[in-house]
Amino acid sequence: MDYLYLEEKKSNGTIMNRVLLSICIPTFNRSALLNHNLNQILKQLYFINFANDIEIIISDNCSTDDTKEIVKYFLKIDNRFKYFRNDINIGADLNIVNCYNKSSGQYLWILADDDFIFDNKLILLFDKIKTLKYDYLFLNSTWYLKDYKKELNKDLSNKNFNSIEYDNPLFFLKKINYWITFLSSNIINKNILDQAFNLNKFVGTSLHQVHWYLSVIENSKNYLYITTPIIGCKGNNTSNYNVFGIFVTNLRKIILETLVDNNLRTNAIKFIDKKMMLQFLPQYIIPIKSYTQRLEVLKLLYINYGNSLLFWLFILPLLILPNLFSKNLLKVSNYLINE
């Protein structure tokens, strides 16, 4: 492994001077987007008063582009940037685990390489974190497709910061819902997780970190939902994604096998399934033109949602009826989502 930054350690191997917040960025062959991401962090770091309170970890999954050269620039300017490069590509899931293991902060924020923090937001967010009041912070995001300067509202960089506090895990989880799967939106207090916690339990699902997030939610009572958009995100930037396998089969498996409390587990499945069917999945179902592919998706969704009335009243018609009927079905979904 290539280390451009070596952590100072005690003789027993433990990291000295644990920082408060670790911003960890797993990356692979996205040097231009990573460069923008890091620049957005760098220009806001000067407003963080105490140097040892924050670190930025870049975990490079053996990129073949100029990622290493890009990162060297930031290492020279600010020693809060730390760079680790894997000798081989270990896969996205293990690279995220690597971020966790390399972080020394009490709070962990895994920020995707193609996302970025809006101007003025890091200091406002950090002010909330340093109160040590919350074990989980959820950040809202705004999306763009090509050019964020043209597509996103310039007012997103203002100093507004609105949030809602929660003290009930069920209500908080219902609020964030399936967005718990969005990597960049979740900040957790690592102290909530037991030292024996299995970080790798769901590696291979492409959502293994949701296991961490659910565990923190279930074992905490202090949550902050930040309604103000904090991060800008590039849409349609992931290829070869098995959407239905990951966000239906894998997500439900993680929820069912992670949450211990029966009431929390049962309700989490209920309200996440509902929003997945009514809000998330239609955008991926409607474009499918192949009859064979629609049949495969139908089988998968039946296995997972076959006991739900919503499957029969909404998902099944969406899959088997001509797209001519889709608009009317989506109108129904907009009504049901608020029920």
Q: What span, in angstroms and rounded, lies between the C-alpha atoms of 161 and 175?
A: 18
pLDDT tens per residue across span 9-51: 443 444 445 799 999 999 999 999 999 999 999 999 988 766 6
Among 141-155, 158-172, 201-215, name the one with the lowest average pLDDT: 141-155
* Residue 335 pLDDT: 67
* Residue 148 pLDDT: 78
**φ/ψ of residue 95, rounded to 5:** -70, -35
- Quickly state the pLDDT bin for 121 (edges 50, 70, 90): very high
According to DSSP H, which parts of the chain are helical? 31-45, 67-77, 92-102, 121-129, 148-151, 169-176, 208-218, 243-244, 251-258, 262-275, 282-285, 291-305, 309-310, 316-320, 326-336
- Return all residues near 53 (Cβ < 8 A) that are at least 6 apart: 19, 20, 21, 126, 130
Q: What span, in angstroms and rounded, lies between the C-alpha atoms of 45 and 289?
A: 48
What is the C-alpha R_g of the chain? 21
Q: What span, in angstroms and rounded, lies between the C-alpha atoms of 235 and 146?
A: 8
- Percent of the chain at pLDDT > 90 equals 76
* Residue 323 pLDDT: 75
Bigger pLDDT: 192 vs 143: 192
Bigger pLDDT: 336 vs 139: 139
Whether the pLDDT of residue 2 is over 50: the answer is no
The residue-averaged pLDDT of 55-83 equals 96
Cα–Cα nearest to 339, from 301, 321, 313? 313
* Residue 15 pLDDT: 43
* Residue 171 pLDDT: 97
- Quickly state the pLDDT bin for 338 (edges 50, 70, 90): low
pLDDT tens per residue across span 162-203: 999 999 999 999 999 999 999 999 999 999 998 889 999 999
pLDDT tens per residue across span 252-262: 999 999 999 99
Residues counted in the chain? 339
Bigger pLDDT: 217 vs 12: 217
